[in-house]
Amino acid sequence: MGDYNHISKMEKIFDEAKRRQTALEIAIADYKNFQPSIKELEKYYSSKQWKDDFAADERGEIPSYIKRGVLSEDGIYDLLERNKEIMDMLDSLDKEEEKGT
């Protein structure tokens, strides 16, 4: 009988690929489903409330124990831009899938 170790090795790769595909599909669906919350964050960032909160933070009026990464201009801007890039990438993949490529 021959050596069939390569079959076992390929089976492990096969199983791991299936596991990762499933995990990726779940993560993508979860991220897409989270978009309404991202839109809410985007709306807040462009609101008068955010400007007022930012100014209050600059004046030291917000207690130090309050987590306030959303008041970091660069942080929230970068997050929203990254979200746009990710959604553009996912939209491109969806379009390719619709074409059957």
Q: What tens digit of pLDDT does each residue of 40-70 get?
A: 999 999 999 999 999 999 999 999 999 999 9
Contact (CB, 8 A) for 45 and 76: yes
Structural domain harbouring 5: 1-33
Give yes or no: residues 81 and 97 share one domain: yes
Q: What is the DSSP letter of 66?
A: S
Q: What tens digit of pLDDT does each residue of 7-48 get?
A: 999 999 999 999 999 999 999 999 999 999 999 999 999 999
Task: Calculate ∠ Cα 14-91-21, nearest 5°.
Answer: 15
Give yes or no: residues 62 and 99 share one domain: yes
**What is the DSSP secondary-structure string of 20-55?**
HHHHHHHHHHHHHHTHHHHHHHHHHHTSHHHHHHHH
Give yes or no: residues 20 and 52 share one domain: no
pTM equals 0.79
* 53: Cα separation from own chain's centroid: 25
- For the segment 57-85, the average pLDDT, to the nearest whole number, is 95
Give yes or no: residues 39 and 26 share one domain: no
Q: Would the pLDDT of 101 be above 60? A: no
Contact residues for 86 (Cβ-Cβ < 8 A; gap 6+): 31
pLDDT at 79 (0 to 100): 97
Give yes or no: residues 56 and 14 share one domain: no
